[in-house]
């Protein structure tokens, strides 16, 4: 069990690792050996708070399936063990990023003095620009 926060933990027993063949260049080695790791973790079967699930869905993006399973594919390394560690650290990082509770914004009203200062500066700029105009010949 991996603890992220007090209420959020990752159950090691629920993580499903599957070895698959890597894509991309690599010659005959890629065609013979299954070094890439496909990590699957079912989030909806766990008791996570709703705010955490919405954050996790936002942060995971396309890695979060419709039925609540996080799917990560790790194929950066040539060994299966390193790819497994990479997938697990990416899952932990995703959970830590999502565990930060969003702060609700408090609406504030600006003081009257700020509004008044803005209007007086606006009037001064207007007067300055009027003085820059050439005088009319009629007057």
Q: pLDDT value at position 128?
A: 94
Q: pLDDT value at position 97?
A: 85
- Residue 135: pLDDT over 80: yes
Q: pLDDT value at position 127?
A: 94
Query: Binning pLDDT at 50, 70 and 90, where does residue 14 land?
Result: confident
* Sign of the torsion formed by the C-alpha atoms of 8, 13, 14 and 20: positive
- Residue 117: pLDDT over 90: yes
**pLDDT 10s digits, 66-84:** 888 888 888 888 888 898 8
User: CA–CA separation, 88 vs 113, rounded Å?
Assistant: 55
Query: Binning pLDDT at 50, 70 and 90, where does residue 7 land?
Result: low
User: CA–CA separation, 69 vs 40, rounded Å?
Assistant: 6
Mean pLDDT of the chain: 84
% pLDDT > 70, the chain: 90
32-57 mean pLDDT: 83
Domain ranges of the chain: 2-99
CATH 3.40.50.10260 matches 2-99: no
Q: pLDDT value at position 47?
A: 81
Q: pLDDT value at position 111?
A: 93
Q: pLDDT value at position 8?
A: 76
Cβ neighbours around 107 below 10 Å, total: 4
Q: pLDDT value at position 68?
A: 83
Q: pLDDT value at position 99?
A: 81
Tokens of 104: 């609700």
């Amino acid at each position: 069990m991996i603890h992220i926060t007090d209420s959020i933990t990752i159950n090691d027993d629920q993580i499903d690792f599957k070895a698959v063949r890597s894509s991309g260049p690599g010659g005959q080695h890629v065609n013979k050996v299954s070094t890439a790791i496909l990590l699957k973790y079912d989030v909806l079967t766990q008791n996570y708070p709703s705010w955490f699930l919405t954050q996790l869905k936002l942060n995971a993006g396309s890695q979060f399936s419709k039925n609540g399973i996080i799917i990560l594919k790790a194929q950066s390394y040539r060994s299966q063990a390193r790819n497994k560690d990479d997938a697990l650290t990416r899952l932990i990082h995703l959970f830590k990023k999502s565990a930060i509770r969003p702060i609700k914004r408090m609406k504030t009203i600006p003081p009257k003095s700020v509004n008044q200062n803005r209007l007086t500066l606006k009037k001064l700029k207007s007067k300055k620009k009027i003085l820059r105009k050439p005088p009319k010949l009629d007057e």
